Amino acid sequence: MIDTHCHIDDPQYAEGLDAFLAEQRHDGVQAILVPGVDASSVKDVLDVCNQYPDYLFPALGLHPENVKDDWREQLAAIKAGVDKNLASTPHTLHPPQAHNLGGADLPREATPLRHSRLIAIGEIGLDYHWDITFKAEQQEALREQLRWAEQYGLPVMIHSRDAAEDTLKILREFPNVRGVMHCFSGSHEVAEQVVKMGYYLGIGGVITFKNCKLAEHLVGIPLERLVLETDAPYMAPVPYRGKRNESRWMWHVVERLAQIYNCSPEHVNEVTTANAKALFVIKL
Ligand SMILES: [Zn+2]
Protein backbone atom coordinates (compact mmCIF):
# COMPACT_ATOMS: atom_id res chain seq x y z
CA MET A 1 0.00 0.00 0.00
CA ILE A 2 1.08 3.57 -0.62
CA ASP A 3 -0.49 6.35 1.46
CA THR A 4 -0.75 9.19 -1.05
CA HIS A 5 -1.86 11.83 1.46
CA CYS A 6 -0.66 11.91 5.05
CA HIS A 7 0.15 14.93 7.24
CA ILE A 8 2.93 13.13 9.09
CA ASP A 9 4.54 16.52 9.85
CA ASP A 10 1.64 17.13 12.27
CA PRO A 11 2.98 17.52 15.83
CA GLN A 12 0.77 14.59 16.89
CA TYR A 13 3.30 12.24 15.22
CA ALA A 14 6.52 13.85 16.44
CA GLU A 15 6.93 11.65 19.49
CA GLY A 16 8.00 8.11 18.67
CA LEU A 17 8.03 8.68 14.92
CA ASP A 18 10.72 6.04 14.28
CA ALA A 19 8.65 3.32 15.92
CA PHE A 20 5.44 4.58 14.33
CA LEU A 21 6.91 4.40 10.81
CA ALA A 22 8.46 1.00 11.50
CA GLU A 23 4.97 -0.27 12.39
CA GLN A 24 3.48 1.16 9.21
CA ARG A 25 6.18 -0.48 7.12
CA HIS A 26 5.80 -3.78 8.96
CA ASP A 27 2.06 -3.78 8.22
CA GLY A 28 2.54 -3.29 4.49
CA VAL A 29 2.79 0.47 3.91
CA GLN A 30 5.52 0.87 1.30
CA ALA A 31 5.65 4.67 1.12
CA ILE A 32 3.92 7.75 2.53
CA LEU A 33 3.40 11.02 0.63
CA VAL A 34 3.38 14.17 2.75
CA PRO A 35 1.63 17.30 1.41
CA GLY A 36 2.34 20.85 2.54
CA VAL A 37 -0.44 23.32 3.33
CA ASP A 38 1.23 26.74 3.62
CA ALA A 39 4.57 28.56 3.75
CA SER A 40 5.31 27.62 7.34
CA SER A 41 4.84 23.92 6.60
CA VAL A 42 7.55 23.95 3.89
CA LYS A 43 10.31 23.38 6.41
CA ASP A 44 8.31 20.88 8.51
CA VAL A 45 7.41 18.74 5.50
CA LEU A 46 10.91 18.75 3.98
CA ASP A 47 12.63 18.14 7.33
CA VAL A 48 10.56 15.11 8.22
CA CYS A 49 10.84 13.65 4.69
CA ASN A 50 14.62 14.17 4.67
CA GLN A 51 14.85 12.05 7.81
CA TYR A 52 13.29 9.10 5.93
CA PRO A 53 14.16 9.80 2.28
CA ASP A 54 13.26 6.34 0.98
CA TYR A 55 9.92 6.25 2.77
CA LEU A 56 8.46 9.76 3.11
CA PHE A 57 8.03 11.80 -0.06
CA PRO A 58 7.18 15.52 0.08
CA ALA A 59 4.77 17.76 -1.79
CA LEU A 60 4.49 21.51 -1.30
CA GLY A 61 1.55 23.83 -1.86
CA LEU A 62 -0.89 26.37 -0.45
CA HIS A 63 -4.11 24.75 0.82
CA PRO A 64 -7.20 26.75 -0.26
CA GLU A 65 -8.29 27.28 3.37
CA ASN A 66 -4.97 29.05 3.93
CA VAL A 67 -5.52 31.52 1.08
CA LYS A 68 -5.88 34.84 2.94
CA ASP A 69 -4.71 38.43 2.43
CA ASP A 70 -1.08 37.34 2.34
CA TRP A 71 -1.56 34.63 -0.31
CA ARG A 72 0.99 36.14 -2.70
CA GLU A 73 3.71 36.15 -0.02
CA GLN A 74 2.74 32.61 0.94
CA LEU A 75 3.05 31.48 -2.67
CA ALA A 76 6.44 33.17 -3.09
CA ALA A 77 7.82 31.42 0.00
CA ILE A 78 6.44 28.04 -1.10
CA LYS A 79 7.82 28.50 -4.62
CA ALA A 80 11.26 29.22 -3.13
CA GLY A 81 11.00 25.93 -1.21
CA VAL A 82 10.01 24.07 -4.38
CA ASP A 83 12.90 25.55 -6.37
CA LYS A 84 15.43 24.85 -3.66
CA ASN A 85 14.32 21.25 -3.24
CA LEU A 86 14.38 20.51 -6.96
CA ALA A 87 17.79 22.16 -7.41
CA SER A 88 19.37 20.13 -4.59
CA THR A 89 21.44 17.03 -5.15
CA PRO A 90 18.92 14.36 -6.06
CA HIS A 91 20.51 11.67 -3.96
CA THR A 92 22.39 10.52 -0.92
CA LEU A 93 25.33 12.72 0.00
CA HIS A 94 26.70 10.26 2.53
CA PRO A 95 25.60 6.69 3.02
CA PRO A 96 24.14 6.24 6.51
CA GLN A 97 26.97 3.87 7.50
CA ALA A 98 29.43 6.73 7.14
CA HIS A 99 27.95 8.18 10.31
CA ASN A 100 29.48 5.33 12.29
CA LEU A 101 32.97 5.51 10.83
CA GLY A 102 35.59 6.23 13.44
CA GLY A 103 33.16 5.58 16.25
CA ALA A 104 32.97 9.21 17.30
CA ASP A 105 30.06 11.58 16.77
CA LEU A 106 30.76 13.62 13.68
CA PRO A 107 30.01 17.32 13.71
CA ARG A 108 26.59 18.14 12.28
CA GLU A 109 27.97 19.74 9.09
CA ALA A 110 29.76 16.50 8.25
CA THR A 111 26.54 14.48 8.21
CA PRO A 112 24.21 16.37 5.92
CA LEU A 113 20.62 15.27 5.72
CA ARG A 114 19.78 12.98 2.88
CA HIS A 115 17.51 14.51 0.32
CA SER A 116 13.91 13.56 -0.35
CA ARG A 117 12.90 14.94 -3.70
CA LEU A 118 9.55 16.64 -4.27
CA ILE A 119 7.03 14.32 -5.93
CA ALA A 120 4.07 16.72 -6.36
CA ILE A 121 2.57 20.17 -5.92
CA GLY A 122 -0.04 19.96 -3.17
CA GLU A 123 -2.26 20.22 -1.53
CA ILE A 124 -3.91 22.89 -3.62
CA GLY A 125 -7.46 23.56 -4.79
CA LEU A 126 -10.71 25.26 -3.84
CA ASP A 127 -12.73 25.10 -0.63
CA TYR A 128 -16.02 27.03 -0.44
CA HIS A 129 -17.33 25.13 2.58
CA TRP A 130 -16.76 27.53 5.47
CA ASP A 131 -15.64 30.74 3.89
CA ILE A 132 -15.83 32.26 0.42
CA THR A 133 -14.27 35.62 1.31
CA PHE A 134 -11.21 34.72 -0.75
CA LYS A 135 -12.94 32.81 -3.53
CA ALA A 136 -11.27 34.78 -6.34
CA GLU A 137 -7.87 34.58 -4.62
CA GLN A 138 -8.27 30.81 -4.13
CA GLN A 139 -8.83 30.48 -7.86
CA GLU A 140 -5.80 32.61 -8.71
CA ALA A 141 -3.60 30.71 -6.24
CA LEU A 142 -4.75 27.42 -7.76
CA ARG A 143 -3.94 28.60 -11.29
CA GLU A 144 -0.51 29.84 -10.22
CA GLN A 145 0.34 26.49 -8.60
CA LEU A 146 -0.94 24.56 -11.60
CA ARG A 147 1.50 26.63 -13.67
CA TRP A 148 4.33 25.41 -11.41
CA ALA A 149 3.19 21.82 -11.86
CA GLU A 150 3.17 22.30 -15.62
CA GLN A 151 6.57 23.98 -15.59
CA TYR A 152 8.21 21.22 -13.52
CA GLY A 153 6.24 18.30 -14.93
CA LEU A 154 4.95 17.39 -11.46
CA PRO A 155 1.52 15.93 -10.61
CA VAL A 156 -0.85 17.78 -8.28
CA MET A 157 -2.81 16.84 -5.15
CA ILE A 158 -6.17 18.57 -5.41
CA HIS A 159 -8.37 19.50 -2.46
CA SER A 160 -11.89 20.38 -3.61
CA ARG A 161 -14.81 20.94 -1.26
CA ASP A 162 -18.17 22.32 -2.33
CA ALA A 163 -16.37 23.63 -5.39
CA ALA A 164 -16.39 20.80 -7.96
CA GLU A 165 -17.56 22.89 -10.89
CA ASP A 166 -14.95 25.63 -10.50
CA THR A 167 -12.21 23.12 -9.71
CA LEU A 168 -12.85 21.12 -12.89
CA LYS A 169 -13.10 24.30 -14.95
CA ILE A 170 -9.68 25.49 -13.77
CA LEU A 171 -8.04 22.05 -14.08
CA ARG A 172 -9.23 21.94 -17.70
CA GLU A 173 -7.20 25.09 -18.37
CA PHE A 174 -4.10 22.94 -17.74
CA PRO A 175 -4.54 19.87 -19.96
CA ASN A 176 -0.89 18.83 -19.50
CA VAL A 177 -1.20 18.51 -15.72
CA ARG A 178 -2.28 15.28 -13.99
CA GLY A 179 -2.94 14.47 -10.39
CA VAL A 180 -5.27 13.14 -7.75
CA MET A 181 -8.57 14.44 -6.40
CA HIS A 182 -7.68 13.88 -2.79
CA CYS A 183 -10.30 12.59 -0.31
CA PHE A 184 -12.76 12.22 -3.16
CA SER A 185 -16.38 12.46 -2.05
CA GLY A 186 -18.08 13.92 -5.12
CA SER A 187 -20.92 12.62 -7.25
CA HIS A 188 -20.73 9.91 -9.88
CA GLU A 189 -20.84 12.59 -12.59
CA VAL A 190 -17.85 14.39 -11.10
CA ALA A 191 -15.96 11.09 -10.67
CA GLU A 192 -16.51 10.32 -14.35
CA GLN A 193 -15.30 13.75 -15.45
CA VAL A 194 -12.22 13.57 -13.21
CA VAL A 195 -11.26 10.17 -14.63
CA LYS A 196 -11.88 11.37 -18.18
CA MET A 197 -9.41 14.19 -17.55
CA GLY A 198 -6.75 11.62 -16.64
CA TYR A 199 -6.87 12.29 -12.91
CA TYR A 200 -7.04 9.72 -10.12
CA LEU A 201 -9.45 9.58 -7.17
CA GLY A 202 -7.90 9.45 -3.68
CA ILE A 203 -9.91 7.04 -1.51
CA GLY A 204 -9.58 7.01 2.27
CA GLY A 205 -11.38 6.18 5.49
CA VAL A 206 -14.62 7.86 4.41
CA ILE A 207 -15.47 4.85 2.25
CA THR A 208 -15.76 2.70 5.41
CA PHE A 209 -18.33 5.04 7.01
CA LYS A 210 -21.77 3.55 7.30
CA ASN A 211 -23.85 6.10 5.38
CA CYS A 212 -21.19 6.83 2.75
CA LYS A 213 -22.57 7.01 -0.80
CA LEU A 214 -19.16 6.76 -2.41
CA ALA A 215 -19.54 3.06 -3.32
CA GLU A 216 -22.48 3.98 -5.61
CA HIS A 217 -20.52 6.86 -7.09
CA LEU A 218 -17.66 4.53 -8.02
CA VAL A 219 -19.82 2.28 -10.23
CA GLY A 220 -18.10 2.17 -13.61
CA ILE A 221 -14.94 3.86 -12.34
CA PRO A 222 -12.04 1.45 -12.94
CA LEU A 223 -9.78 0.44 -10.04
CA GLU A 224 -6.96 1.59 -12.30
CA ARG A 225 -7.95 5.19 -11.48
CA LEU A 226 -7.93 4.92 -7.68
CA VAL A 227 -5.15 5.57 -5.19
CA LEU A 228 -5.24 5.01 -1.43
CA GLU A 229 -4.79 7.71 1.19
CA THR A 230 -5.44 8.46 4.85
CA ASP A 231 -5.51 12.27 5.12
CA ALA A 232 -4.01 11.45 8.55
CA PRO A 233 -4.31 12.59 11.28
CA TYR A 234 -7.95 12.96 10.11
CA MET A 235 -10.48 10.54 8.57
CA ALA A 236 -9.57 7.33 10.40
CA PRO A 237 -11.54 4.39 8.98
CA VAL A 238 -14.06 2.28 10.86
CA PRO A 239 -13.33 0.77 13.45
CA TYR A 240 -10.89 3.55 14.43
CA ARG A 241 -13.16 6.47 13.58
CA GLY A 242 -12.24 9.63 15.53
CA LYS A 243 -8.75 8.39 16.44
CA ARG A 244 -5.45 9.74 15.17
CA ASN A 245 -5.22 8.01 11.81
CA GLU A 246 -2.47 5.58 10.74
CA SER A 247 -1.42 4.59 7.23
CA ARG A 248 -1.59 0.86 8.03
CA TRP A 249 -5.32 1.21 8.74
CA MET A 250 -5.78 1.66 4.98
CA TRP A 251 -6.25 -2.14 5.02
CA HIS A 252 -9.84 -1.38 6.03
CA VAL A 253 -10.18 0.82 2.95
CA VAL A 254 -8.64 -1.92 0.81
CA GLU A 255 -11.11 -4.48 2.18
CA ARG A 256 -14.07 -2.20 1.50
CA LEU A 257 -12.85 -1.56 -2.05
CA ALA A 258 -12.44 -5.33 -2.56
CA GLN A 259 -16.15 -5.75 -1.67
CA ILE A 260 -17.18 -2.92 -3.99
CA TYR A 261 -15.05 -4.16 -6.91
CA ASN A 262 -15.76 -7.82 -6.18
CA CYS A 263 -12.11 -8.82 -6.15
CA SER A 264 -9.45 -9.78 -3.59
CA PRO A 265 -7.88 -7.24 -1.21
CA GLU A 266 -4.50 -8.26 -2.65
CA HIS A 267 -5.65 -7.21 -6.10
CA VAL A 268 -6.86 -3.82 -4.78
CA ASN A 269 -3.51 -3.34 -3.06
CA GLU A 270 -1.53 -4.32 -6.15
CA VAL A 271 -3.44 -2.07 -8.55
CA THR A 272 -3.68 1.02 -6.31
CA THR A 273 0.02 0.75 -5.40
CA ALA A 274 0.97 0.55 -9.08
CA ASN A 275 -1.28 3.58 -9.76
CA ALA A 276 0.44 5.65 -7.06
CA LYS A 277 3.89 4.66 -8.28
CA ALA A 278 3.00 5.61 -11.85
CA LEU A 279 1.34 8.94 -11.03
CA PHE A 280 3.99 10.19 -8.60
CA VAL A 281 6.96 8.44 -10.30
CA ILE A 282 8.06 6.70 -7.12
CA LYS A 283 10.76 4.06 -7.33
CA LEU A 284 10.88 1.80 -4.28
ZN1 LIG B 1 -4.74 17.03 3.57
Residues 180/279, Cβ–Cβ less than 8 Å: yes
Backbone angles phi and psi of 281, in degrees to 5: 50, 60
Q: Is 159 in a helix, a strand, or coil?
A: strand
> What spacing in Å lies between the alpha carbon of 186 and ligand 1's midpoint?
16
Distance 25 CA to ligand 1 centre (A): 21
Distance from Cα 93 to the centre of ligand 1, integer Å:
31
CATH number of the structural domain spanning residue 74: 3.20.20.140
- 109-165: per-residue pLDDT in tens? 444 557 889 999 999 999 999 999 999 999 999 999 999 999 999 999 999 999 999
Q: Are 59 and 34 in contact (CB under 8 A)?
A: yes
Q: How many structural domains is the chain composed of?
A: 1
Q: How far is the CA of 107 from the centre of ligand 1 (A)?
A: 36
Global model pTM greater than 0.85: yes
Bridge partners of 60? 121
Confidence class of residue 89 from pLDDT cuts 50, 70 and 90?
A: low
pLDDT, residue 103, reads 41
* Domain membership of residue 275 as a residue range: 2-280
The continuous run of DSSP H or E covering 60 comes out as strand 56-60
Q: From ligand 1's centre to the CA of 18, what distance in Å?
A: 22
Q: What is the pLDDT of residues 210-265, one digit of tens each?
A: 888 999 999 999 999 999 999 999 999 999 999 999 999 999 999 999 999 999 99
